[in-house]
A = this chain, B = another copy of it.
Amino acid sequence: MIYFHNDYHDMCHWKVLEKMTSLHEQPMPGYGEDPCCAQAAQKIRALCGSEDVAVHFLVGGTQTNLTVISAALRPHQAAVGAETAHINVHETGAIEATGHKVIALPSDDGKITAGQVEELVRLHRASADCEHMAQPKLVYISNPTELGTIYTLAELEALSSVCRTYGLYLYADGARLGYGLTAKNNDVSLSDMARLCDAFYIGGTKCGSMFGEAVVIANDALKEDFRYLIKRHGGMLAKGWQLGVQFDALFENDLYFTICAHANRMADRIRYTLQELNVPALAQCTTNQIFPIFSDAFLEELGKDFTFTEMHRVDATHRAVRFCTSWATTEESVDALCSAMRQIAKA
């Protein structure tokens, strides 16, 4: 069986593991106040082009989202995201668990626009009984999105500008940020993210580490007492240096970007084959996820040798599925998949 069903079934890049195990005998201060975290944070600040951003390391994405969002909002305020947003559909109501509504905006490709946000806020403020509705205060985007699409710099600039005009926070979930920043049509850098977002996180779990996400906070209003908030939600790892050391390894010699670019190239090869076979897709994306729509018969055949994730049924005989590549995906695996798809298509 060859695995394409997600991007977290492999442990981590060997350089990450090597760096972590090299510290096996080294006593370390607890709770993230150690030299590994300090050094990784310094590298991240450098890549963000700012000494002023705060950097914290958390174990996982849901934990990170709920901690940042609940840190940013007053009780009556809501997060706004695409209806496909991870916080809206795949976190078991973790944001609501902190007391906040998620306002879902329609979206075909996983992205939301500055125009949608502006209209929502204007309608809210124009309403005579606005205090009877949750107040939109934070815009949540994923980059890449849950459908593998990415924001252009112009789109991000527009979103950031609307948020600043109306006093909203812009927060980006970067669970797969590495794949986004290295996609071939991407024009956004880490320093753009830090300049345009109030906060975002750089995903480790799905981009080469064992676990861990690095939160970058650019807006001073969100920095205060952030460690209390991590602890309050159970997100403060006792041996927090394990988070720092992994990001330290990922940002040594651009490893993070190199391995994510590799995954994108692997995905591109699958995309070429799908194009060649005229297979439709849920979304046009350029990152490490691919969402083709196949017939049930095709998938039954393909499923004999390859794993993928079920998305949803499209019609009586077709389903959308997901294929993921990662730092660990080999050319051989991709060749095998592409050739199998050509074979089944031909049959």
Residues of A within 8 A of B (CB): 3, 6, 8-12, 14, 17, 21, 23-31, 59-67, 70-71, 74-76, 78, 89-94, 96-102, 104, 128-135, 205-206, 210-211, 225, 227-239, 242, 310
Contacts and interface: CB of A to CB of B under 8 A. Distances in A.
Given A11-B26, A132-B90, A62 B229 contact: no
Nearest to A66: B234
13 contacts: A8-B30, A9-B28, A11-B24, A11-B239, A62-B231, A76-B225, A76-B232, A90-B132, A92-B131, A92-B132, A93-B134, A131-B225, A206-B238
Given A21-B17, A66-B234, A310-B128, A211 B92 contact: no
A89 B225 CA distance: 17
> How many copies of the shown chain assemble into the complex?
4
B30 A131 contact: no
A96 B228 CA distance: 14
A236 B28 contact: no
Given A236-B62, A242-B211, A229 B76 contact: yes
Contact of A96 (B27, B59, B101): B101
A234 B235 contact: yes
A133 B30 contact: no
Contacts of A26: 11
Nearest to A230: B131
Given A21-B21, A70-B75, A225-B131, A239 B93 contact: no
Given A94-B231, A232-B94, A10 B31 contact: no
Contact of A234 (B14, B21, B227, B233): B233
B59 A237 contact: yes
